Structure 1
Amino acid sequence: MDDLDLNEVVENLMKMIRRIIGEHIRLSVIPGHSLGTVHADRIQMEQILMNLCVNARDAMPDGGELTIETENVVINGDYCATHIGAVPGRYVLLSVTDTGHGMDAETKARIFEPFFTTKELGKGTGLGLATVYGIVRQHQGMIQVYSEVDKGTTFKIYLPIVARTASKIGAKIERRVLGGNETILVAEDDEMVRNIAVRILESAGYTVLTAVNGRDALRVFHESGGKIDLILTDVVMPEMGGKGIYEALHKDHPDLRFLFTSGYSANSIHTGFVLHKGVELIQKPYAPDALLRKIRELLDGSK
């Protein structure tokens, strides 16, 4: 992990966030002055921010305002007495606020459960906020949610401050070791998940091509002249899923590696084809280093 300035992380993501939320939502950023340093995984911090921004976007289908704010805070005993799991100390607070439809108490109590979603079938896996919660806890942080129906929602994420200056080096050393210069095709219908995968892979040195479904992946593969070393693909996608891509390409391209991703458990999908040489499965949500390690193993032929 790196010593990070969250203001820098937010600033570097602004272009992508504006593209994800669309023009119908106003974006305001309020960076904290002399913000403390946090010891964190840069890609996972980006993942938190993008997940929360997508969640906010979906809560404002008719437009609204999204506010991202950072500040230094001190958690004391009084706060801990009224917030279960809170630990006293100095923290960087990252707040993401929307003016959307808000949540009732029942929904708010379940939002961090894996696979819980209020979206219609096919519009989301329910893994976004569960992923955020998991990452925050991995970083010894805390997360609080404030929401009111028809008034909006605020997510407050507290990350411990460390007594060091933030590193300006983007990717950590281990990530560079796990990286490479091969070409990878990412086939994923969820724009946010696709963007996260691209950032992880590009930060590790890979050349990345993208596709929004299986048929699009076949088009991109053939347009590249077959100069793709590995395909990272979701198992289930509209029009054609990952297995369809594999069946269309494997016979004529036996050296092509495949890494399948799925938000479903391995037991609930047909994964017999994963037993083939050069094919693996990684379950969502995945940690950046776990993804890079699995890709490196496949490309190096260790399976």
Structure 2
Amino acid sequence: MQFSTNLPPKLWTVSGDKNQLEQVLINLIINAGHAMPNGGNLSISADNLYIDEEMTRIDSDAQVGNYIVITVSDTGEGMSPEIRERIFEPFFTTKDIGEGTGLGLSTVIGTIKNHNGFINVDSEVGKGSKFQVFLPSVNQEITPLEPEHEEPCQGQGELILVVDDEPQILEVTKTILENYNYQTITAINGREAIGIYAQYQDQIKVVLMDMMMPEMDGTAAIRSLKKINPQVPIIACSGRDIQNMLEANNENQVPAILSKPYTNQELLEKLNFVLN
């Protein structure tokens, strides 16, 4: 795969959450990579753009004013019009059962809307895809975002076992944690997680456990992990109602739960809570 960037030095300034916007780009880049299983070209570019009255017709969320537009393009498999219309729906996925939750792009669109921006998608089967992310510049009047949280605590090199059947979630979570000075080890299902934990239980400080997985789901995996170590710290993760998945008795109780899609801040706060 070939990767290229075109980032002008004099881009306008935007106001936003650095961690959330970084996660948007990671999601889009990983999706582009998955769309090119046999290789291809991935490019990222950014430009300043003034949107006038006529151009606001391209999207109902667009406003007249200055924007920066970030474009992520690939030469991959592309999408049909029917799929393109649904890609931002929560839980919509074109992957086989057990290979993805369909939460990545719904998180992306939610984050960009929270930043008063919008996204355009251009794609054709066999001809790749282009995602354009529009973010308003601070040179114009915009609605202020919620006050930023305090900077999350850095890790101290703790080893975190991340368990999820969706490769995209594993890659994004691994990147976030390692950017904040944690070490990671990953498993794609409950059975693999048990084998890894049995081997590295003295080093693993927290297990981040997806609850919806094939072969062995999170509930069964938690039960097995607690037979190895009844005090194993676990954060249960799911896009659905986690409490209903956990057993009513104390056998499968966990110190923290994390609802998908989660932000960098939410992940790091839960991890800091469990570690301390």
5+ residue gaps, structure 1, are 1-24, 164-171
Distance 1:279 1:228 in 2: 16
Per-residue deviation at 1:47? 2.1
State the match for 2:21 in structure 1. 45
- Which amino acid is 1:209 matched to? I
The 3-state SS of whatever aligns with 1:294 is helix
- Given the alignment of the two structures, is residue 271 of structure 1 paired with residue 271 of structure 2, yes or no? no
Per-residue deviation at 1:258? 0.8
Per-residue deviation at 1:89? 1.9
- Given the alignment of the two structures, is residue 99 of structure 1 paired with residue 75 of structure 2, yes or no? yes
- Which amino acid is 2:99 matched to? K
Per-residue deviation at 1:144? 0.9
Distance 1:205 1:273 in 2: 35
8 Å CA contact 1:278–1:298 kept in 2: the answer is no
8 Å CA contact 1:50–1:192 kept in 2: the answer is no
Percentage of pairs with the same residue: 38
Per-residue deviation at 1:82? 4.0
State the match for 1:197 in structure 2. 173
State the match for 2:40 in structure 1. 64
Change (3 A) 1:229 1:82: closer
Change (3 A) 1:150 1:219: closer
Where do 1:83-98 residues align within 5 Å? Answer: 83-98=59-74
The 3-state SS of whatever aligns with 1:254 is coil
Partner of residue 263 from structure 2, selected from 258, 271, 287? 287
Change (3 A) 1:58 1:206: closer
Per-residue deviation at 1:173? 7.5
Provide Cα deviations, 1:13-46, integer angstroms capped at 9, x if missing partner.
xxxxxxxxxxxx3322222232223333333223
TM-score, normalization by structure 1: 0.76
8 Å CA contact 1:26–1:65 kept in 2: the answer is yes
**Which deviates more, 271-280 or 256-265?**
271-280
8 Å CA contact 1:111–1:117 kept in 2: the answer is yes
- Which amino acid is 2:200 matched to? S
8 Å CA contact 2:100–2:165 kept in 1: the answer is no
Change (3 A) 1:175 1:189: farther
State the match for 2:8 in structure 1. 32
- Which amino acid is 1:66 matched to? L
TM-score, normalization by structure 2: 0.83
Partner of residue 120 from structure 1, selected from 96, 110, 116? 96
Per-residue deviation at 1:117? 2.0
Q: What is the aligned residue count?
A: 266
Q: CA RMSD for the aligned pairs? A: 2.7
- Which amino acid is 2:197 matched to? F
5+ residue gaps, structure 2, are 140-147
